[in-house]
Amino acid sequence: MKKIFLLLAVVAGMTFTSCEGDQGPVGPQGADGLPDGDTIAETFELQNVNFTLVEGEYMIRQNLNPVIFDSDVILIYRLAGTINASTPIWQPIPRTLYLNQGELDYDYDFSKQDFTIYAGGNYDIATTPQFLNNQTFRIVIVPSDFSKTIDTNNFEAVTKALKLTDQDFSKSQL
């Protein structure tokens, strides 16, 4: 009797574990090289902004509304020039420019509430206002995992991976 009960228990267990329902629909294809298929970036552009001298430092400060997640990363690119009317040159920050006057550095920091872009140098950078006034920056906010999977120093690689176009960067002036 114990052998029959054991045999029935094994058969019942195999029957119930091998049941399968209807196949569900196929999910969306994930993006190649990204940690998931739904990486969403927040983007905007600061156009024609001027650095302000605050307590001996040149800076541009911007509040974030809404605030970002603790795990988000901010990438900032400066418009360094153009090849032609439709081909901008975006340089990642931090960046050091080597000028006849000396070295000019652009750097930034961020929190989940704001970010600050800094300009400084080993000379009086007020003597080169073309690097302080009417500057344009593109800001890309991404999850930190994304920033580990792509060359964030390459603006084109970032925008291609995120499927961003110029229209995705809302324009604002401070």
Could you write out the three-class secondary structure of the chain?
Answer: CHHHHHHHHHHHHHHHHCCCCCCCCCCCCCCCCCCCCCCCCEEEEEEEECCEEECCEEEEEEECCCCCCCCEEEEEEEEEEEEECCEEEEEECCEEEEECCEEEEEEEEECCCEEEEEEEECCCHHHCHHHCCCEEEEEEEEEHHHHHHCCCCCHHHHHHHCCCCHHHCEEECC
Summarised one tens digit per residue, pLDDT across range 50-61 is 999 999 999 999
Summarised one tens digit per residue, pLDDT across range 48-92 is 999 999 999 999 999 998 899 888 999 999 999 999 888 899 999
Task: Give the start-to-end residue ranges of the domains of the chain.
Answer: 38-172
